[in-house]
Amino acid sequence: MRIQTFAALTGLSVHTLRYYEKIGLLHPGRNASGHRDYRENEVEWISFIKRLKETGMPLEAIQRYARLRSQGNSTLAERRMLLAHHADRLAQRLAEQQAHLIQLEAKMAWYDGELLKNGA
């Protein structure tokens, strides 16, 4: 499929897709006219890239993952380790965010108590 169609399907801009190609995250084929030709299976790959980005994986780590992925099954253990390390960092960030939420809720409860005391 052409880049405009692929952009609409993935929710990424044409500029972002070209950038991802430039840094080695995407490797679209070319049609007879020389235009980029994206395959359906690349939609799933872009979805995974977006998920990694949304969970805070640095672009350099995503590039490393992509390089390993392109090397095939001989890198399965290394890719799994990369994802496990990212999952550990994500779990730590989630725990920190949960602690922040608990503190905010405690502060709001204090305000609720004060407002009730003051009849507001």
Q: In this predicted model, what pLDDT tens digit does every residue of 32-57 receive, in sequence order?
A: 998 999 998 999 999 999 999 999 99
Report CA-CA distances (Å) from 76 to 65, 67, 68: 10, 12, 8
pLDDT for residue 120: 66
> Please, what is the angle between helix 41-54 and helix 3-10, to 10°?
50
Q: In this predicted model, what pLDDT tens digit does every residue of 97-108 receive, in sequence order?
A: 999 999 999 999
Reported pTM? 0.84
Q: In this predicted model, what pLDDT tens digit does every residue of 58-110 receive, in sequence order?
A: 999 999 999 999 999 999 999 999 999 999 999 999 999 999 999 999 999 99
